[in-house]
Structure 1
Amino acid sequence: MDNPSVWRTSLPAYAVSDLLWPGDHRAGDLFSDAAVVAAMVRVEHAWLTALAEHKIADLTVPDLTGLVAPEDLPQLAIDGESGGNPLIPLLKLLRARLRGRNTAAAGWLHKGLTSQDVIDTAIVLCLRDAHDRIRAGLRSQVGSLSRLADEHRETRMAGRTLTQHAIPIMFGLKAAGWLTGVLDARDQLAAVTFPIQVGGAAGSLAAPAALAGGPGRARELVATTAGQLGLPSREPWHTSRAPVTRIADAFVTCTDAWGRIANDVLVGSRPEVHELIEGAAEGKGGSSAMPNKQNPVHAVLIKRAALAGPPLAALVHAGAAAAVDERPDGGWHVEWATLRTLARRTVVAGAQTAELLAGLRVDTGKMLATLHDARPDIDAEQQSITPGVAPGHPYPGATEEIIDAVLARAAAGPG
């Protein structure tokens, strides 16, 4: 089956709605239990198809999507405890429902694979979906930030270091700095890959080679399966977890960049600063007790994601470092829910950042007033470099060149 969307919609959304993570609904059914089950079923279908195409199994490959119903999900979650992973009860369910409909398929289902092959590859499919959503959000952010940097080349403001006034800068330079972080995240996301993970019981392709009649044909089986899933083929990575740690790191590079923007917006939106204002919307930023407040709620929630992301990626790395033998005892298992949480939160923060930037208002008058009030102290460096220069004389450095370079990089695309 070569239409991934069919598999993604084969079970109802059952979106993971997290009351204590406001905005979680933005991730929809991404990495939900239904999405993970659909991805595992898709991997099993692709393998069956490869077995049939290579004349290893004599069968008509059935449509597996209708074999799992939404009401099966709670019991699958419960039954996963006995074997330590959710695939074992899923296979039992699929085989039971295939018998009587397609006995040959029931017998060949999963033959030559191991649980880790299917779960790893299903996780990769879910991560790829998250990756595509995040990249779409980044494109919107790049557009908004490019506009801000270009429009505010001449907007003077007080630069700040270690919370104190430093030297005069242009707001366009600050926006270009935000954009640089987003472009770094864009490039890192573009560089990650989502390879299939098939190695058999201990990563040697022993069972596939025995079924296919040799190692070369086993590798062809893997390549065919990868093609069915739209994934690149590569050698087994059972205990070499760089594919998932790289993805986790790329997601955190995004939340790092967004957190940096959110921090500036939070400072700039303080009433005593009032240089940056989140776009208003009905009911947005309200308080339960103080009707006078208009909280910068998107920036708050983005900062939250930026704080939560690095520990999640660190946990994925900890699992990779705990890899042992030919299948880790716990180090592998800790990845699953951690990657789901990181992926969903990154998608949510990306959407919130795109909205924040699209609606951000810049109070240029307040910026100029603050700069005026900071004089003459804020001109101290300029006076030390060029004594006697007139107060308020432009001190732009290479601002124009920096903005132009960042905008050119944005326009050039990833890489």
Structure 2
Amino acid sequence: MSGLLWPGDHRAGDIFTDGAFLDAMIRVEAAWSVALAAAGVAPAGAELDVDALRSLLTDADLESVAVEAESGGNPVIPLVRLLRSRLGAGPAATWLHRGLTSQDVVDSALMWCAAEAVAAISTALDSQVTILARHTIEHRHSPMVARTLTQQAVPTTFGLKSALWLRGVLDARERLDLLRFPVQLGGAGGTSAAVVELAGADADIAALVARSSTVAARELGLEPATPWHSVRTAITRIGDAALECTDAWGHVANDVMVLARTEIGELSEGAGGGSSTMPHKSNPVLSVLIRRAAIAGPPMASTLHLAAADAVDERTPGGWHVEWDTLRTLLRRAVVAGDQTTSLLDDLRVHTERMAENLAAAGAAVTSEQSTMAEIAGHPAASEYFGAADQFIDAQLERARAITQKDEQ
């Protein structure tokens, strides 16, 4: 995909590109053919190999399928027509797509591509957990000014700030672990009636449906499921989880941008970005681009919920269609932002001397609360005013260790 207007898009590679989605649809068709044969519905020779199906298409076919998708409203119709024509006579062509509907292929392909994107995001989060734990430990006792509503408040440590970034990342990581990626295999109206009819009157319907779902899911690396046609929680939950990630990353980016201001100077990006006209500039470009993704995410997640709320009948006109590119864009941008956040944190420059200078310059203002509390308690003010910062840091480091140990097992 071109990233001219979304700098950094190359970081997502082939994840959820048009080519990747076309390939995912081919995977679904092949997996279903294997499932039909395993269930005893399709005859010998009807099974389709993914590589064999891929070999039937050329690079030019992606464009033609995209153009022809307009006539039927989705890309499955021209894809199936094209594959059947190139398979020629025989059971493979005859049984291709039998028992499926366009929604089955699109939704299952969405799940396949979404799972790949989420795996990449999870990898980024795991790296960030490691890096943030390192920053937190290193700067546990690095004093700085805490700021509330843009103003200096009380003393804190950069270790605690880093621990709070870590908390957001850990929360997002836990949310991803709850995601499920179910296959969609319901046929035209979500009843699997075509499969039952193909199997014949003597078929064990429950065993047939369970077997076909299990086999197809196994082939795709997804979860077996009964049809979920107009219940779109599988989509909205993925979108919400991606949004929780960009929220956490946006928090990091915003803090870095504020603390990297020339007049504050407590943090800086490892490299920074230049200016087309001002040689002295070293802009926090990664932070800017991460913030961009955090700002762009909520409207897309909202669109997914609007589509889910607009569900009607067994296939929603318009609401179903708007999900595809919305989910793709949201996840792809999350993959990019995740990788950018990892780079930002790994190369982050922490200027502890400047933090200490700013804290000292704040003078008695940042210890005014402490003075009040000490007076009420009737004892002299302590030499430090960091409260339970160490304990709060330890709580997040313990969560980080649990994640790290789980991943190592």
Q: Counterpart of 2:384? A: 394
Deviation at 1:204, TM superposition (A): 1.3
Within the alignment, does 1:23 sit opposite 2:23 as a pair?
no
Match of 2:69 among 76, 80, 89: 80
Deviations 1:268-289 (A, max 9, x none): 0000000001002xxx501101
- Which deviations, in whole Å up to 9, do the C-alpha atoms of 1:78-135 show, x marking residues without a partner? 00000000000000100000014xx111000000010000100001000000001001
Matched position secondary structure for 2:180: coil
Deviations 1:304-344 (A, max 9, x none): 00000111111011111111001000100000000110011
Match of 2:362 in 1: 374
CA displacement at 1:392 relative to structure 2: 7.9
Match in the other structure for 1:126: 113
Structure 1 SS opposite 2:61: helix
CA RMSD of aligned residues (A): 1.4
Query: Paired residue for 1:94?
Result: 83
Structure 2 CA distance, aligned partners of 1:202 and 1:52?
22
Alignment deviations for residues 358-381 of structure 1 (CA, whole Å, 9 cap, x no partner): 000111111011001111111010
The aligned runs of 1:165-244 (5 Å cut-off) are 165-212=152-199, 213-216=203-206, 217-244=208-235
Which amino acid counterpart does residue 37 of structure 2 have in structure 1?
A
- Equivalent residue for 1:37? 22
Look up the SS of the partner of 2:297 in the other structure.
Answer: helix
Per-residue CA deviation, residues 235-266 of structure 1 (Å, 9 max, x unaligned), is 11100000110000000000000000000000
**2:370/2:381 contact within 8 Å kept:** no
Residues 1:275 and 2:272 are matched in the alignment:
no
**Post-superposition offset of 1:53:** 2.1
CA contact (8 A) 1:168 1:395 kept: yes
Give the aligned length.
Answer: 395
In structure 1, C-alpha distance between the alignment counterparts of 2:133 and 2:380, rounded to whole Å = 32
Shift in Å, 1:218: 2.2
Matched, 1:347 2:347: no
Instruction: Specify the code of the residue in structure 1 equivalent to 2:72.
Output: G
- TM-score by length of structure 1 reads 0.93
Q: How far 1:210 sits from its partner (Å)?
A: 1.9
Counterpart secondary structure, 1:328: coil
Residue 168 of structure 1 aligns to a residue in which SS?
strand
> Are positions 1:68 and 2:53 aligned together?
no
Inter-partner Cα distance in structure 2 for 1:362 and 1:163: 20
Secondary structure of the equivalent of 1:67? Answer: coil
CA contact (8 A) 1:205 1:215 kept: no
Indicate the percent of aligned positions where both proteins have the same amino acid.
Answer: 52
**1:55-84 CA distance string (max 9 Å, x none):** 211132242121111111111110000000
Q: Distance in 1 between matches of 2:379 and 2:205?
A: 77
- 1:215 deviates by 2.3
Q: CA deviation at 1:400?
A: 0.8
- Structure 2 partner of 1:149: 136
Match of 1:56 in 2: 41
Aligned to 1:3: none
CA distance in 1, matches of 2:280, 2:301: 39
Unpaired segments ≥5 residues, structure 1:
1-15
Match of 1:312 in 2: 300
Q: Which residue, 343, 350, 356 being the options, matches 1:362?
A: 350
* Counterpart Cα distance in 2 of 1:17 and 1:348: 13
How many angstroms apart in 1 are the aligned matches of 2:168 and 2:241? 12
Q: Secondary structure at the match of 2:145?
A: strand
Deviation beyond 6 Å, 4+ runs, structure 1 = 388-392
Deviation at residue 223 of structure 1 after TM alignment: 1.4
